[in-house]
Amino acid sequence: MFIKNYPLSKVTSLGVGGPADLFIKPASAGEVAYTQRFAADNNLPLTIIGYGTNLIIRDGGIRGIVMQIAEPLARAKVEGRVLTAQAGCLLGSLSKLALQHHLSGLEFAVGIPGSLGGAAFMNAGAYGGEIGPLIKRVQFVQNGTVGSWSRDEFHFSYRSSRLQKEQDKTIVTEVELELAPGQKKDIRQKMDAFQSQRKSKQPLEYPSAGSTFKRPPGHYVGPLIEQAGLKGLRIGGAEVSAKHAGFIIKTGEAKARDFLDLIAKIQEIILQEFGVELEPEIRILGED
């Protein structure tokens, strides 16, 4: 069931990062619960990841167990206005499923490459929409048993949720989203417009981990970095995108250290020039 010394560069969009001591991709909530109990019984750290699209894993890898919630745990169904999906479902695929059922609310997610579990974890959003307000119920595994939160119990804010406060102790396995009925042509038109914006503004032709930094109050990250003259700044194989300064892209061979050093350099310069502290939106895990 567990794979030893699994190279985590295989499961991140940046393709960097060291190995996991033990690696597993569960296919059910029961397997998630078993893995959590096994980790506790053997005093092993347990780290949860999704498709690795918003993630940097350091070059030394991750000790203990890494559990990837991905395609084996990826079934979904629609009943009325409620879309119920397992945590490994891709967010973009769910937006297209909602379209098929004439349901509106997930249009913003059409180009987001991560999983539903990851989206709930970080309250993912784009173009004025986010996942938090759509959540009706969250099923999770905690202390080796399955539980759930209702909408009122699932607290969220900008790029944050209750799950982050209980990181790796509470593992999302399924989410119910309550959507709104809509006209299929209107939903499709909105999705097409978002896709067009994304392709024209984001460096989708290069590997990246999405938006590098959270938006600081009163500012936009891309323009700040551009004003500081940092477009094209490069360390090793990591480079500030010339197309959108809010993204760091992989150009050729790179190590996780290249990205971390570039992030730190950007933070230092933006703080010096504008007095603004940039906080990474990218999740950073593992050891050097």
Structure tokens at 71: 């395609």
Torsion, CA 40, CA 41, CA 42, CA 45, rounded to 10: 0
Strand partners, 234: 239
Q: Which of 31, 130, 176, 281 is catalytic?
A: 281
Please confirm, yes or no, whether 287 is among the known catalytic residues: no
Please confirm, yes or no, whether 157 is among the known catalytic residues: no
CA atoms of 52 and 265, how far apart (whole Å): 23
Please confirm, yes or no, whether 211 is among the known catalytic residues: yes
CA atoms of 65 and 235, how far apart (whole Å): 31
Q: Which of 115, 161, 211, 241 is catalytic?
A: 211
Q: Which residues are catalytic?
A: 159, 211, 281
